[in-house]
Amino acid sequence: MHFDVAHFFEAPPAALRPFVKMHGLGNHFVIFDRRTDRRAFRNADIVRICDARIGVGGDQLLTIEPPSPEGIAGGAYARMRIFNIDGREVSACGNATRCVAHLLFRENGGSALVLETGAGMLNCRRTGSLEVSVELGPIGWNWRDFPLAREVDMRNLPVRSGPLQNGTALWIGNPHAVFFVDSLAEVDLARHAAPIHDDPLFPEGVNVGVAELVDAGTIRLAVWERPGIATRACGTGACVAAFAARQKGLSASDRFNVHLPGGRLTVELQGTMAVMSGPVATCCAGVVEAEPVADFE
């Protein structure tokens, strides 16, 4: 059989876009390099590509872009844009940052770089052949950042759902609501977290973290991510869960092992910054059909 990938598509070669798919603890991403091919993606293509049944499958679609003038001034090697499975662009994703930094380390042979994202210039470090750390933050709790429909007590959110109550709202480039529970095993994530995500208090949705403090330095965490999916891991969610444990006075530790359904991330808190570390892996690479669309910014 003729195994030239382009051969399997009816579409003209110009409609085929090369991608690499990576994951960090099963939080999976379809990644495109827009430095070499400036064409953009339609919303409908993003939705299909992220759907494993009819596309590639991913929790987000990522594009690697040339840095903006501000990025260049900040020493960024490249810029990353992040699109949720509904096609909406969001500003932060911890595991995606680690995966893209790994690709860029392979490209330039380095072991430290600055990646420009909607959450700012992020310092990334290679800490092993398949291990990357990223410094995320500053973590904040300004209600206007989220945005919230009205000003509320960010450390004691006026929303509850089943065992989820007394939540904390934290911003780390994207919005999170973190709820500590006695036992994560007793939480039905889709049933209990979805009503929080959908609450009118969060007009743009919110990533809902459900955390159990196992001991002063260990958290079990599950995250119901915008726009309403249970991911295997959430890097920004791990950082804000650790920060919330400290802010709530539940732990005085500044180092946390955060156990997610897909595995373990470590989070080291440095004031309002969080250094999040963990493994990355490459799943596959190939081409996928996407309607050619002119450049946009």
Ligand X SMILES: N[C@H](CCC[C@H](N)C(=O)O)C(=O)O
Catalytic positions are 93, 234
Residue 1 C-beta: closest distance to ligand X, Å = 37
Q: What are phi and psi of 178, to 5 degrees?
A: -110, 130
HSE, side-chain direction, 13 A CA sphere, residue 93: 28
Is it true that the peptide bond before 147 is cis, omega within 30 degrees of 0? yes
Residue 133 is a binding residue for ligand X (CB under 6 A): no
Please pick, from the candidates 174, 247, 251, 253, the single residue that binds ligand X as defined by CB under 6 A: 174
Residue 226 is a binding residue for ligand X (CB under 6 A): yes
Which neighbouring-strand residues pair with 30? 21, 61
- Say whether 174 counts as a known binding-site residue: yes
Selected range binding ligand X among 147-155, 177-185, 232-240, 279-287, rule: CB under 6 A: 232-240
Residue 247 is a binding residue for ligand X (CB under 6 A): no
Residues 6 or more apart in contact with residue 77 via CB below 8 angstroms = 67, 104, 108, 110, 113, 114, 115
CA–CA separation, 48 and 54 (whole Å): 6
Q: How far is CA 2 from the centre of its chain?
A: 38
Please pick, from the candidates 231, 247, 253, 277, the single residue that binds ligand X as defined by CB under 6 A: 231
Residue 12 C-beta: closest distance to ligand X, Å = 33
- Say whether 75 counts as a known binding-site residue: no
Are 235 and 97 in contact by the 8 Å Cβ rule? The answer is: yes
The sign of the torsion formed by the CA atoms of 263, 119, 89, 159 equals positive
Where in 79-98 is the site for ligand X (CB under 6 A)?
84, 90, 93-95
Residue 236 is a binding residue for ligand X (CB under 6 A): yes
Where along the sequence are the contacts to ligand X (CB under 6 A)?
A: 27, 84, 90, 93-95, 174, 207, 225-226, 231, 234-237
Residue list, annotated binding site for substrate:
27, 60, 84, 94-95, 174, 207, 225-226, 235-236
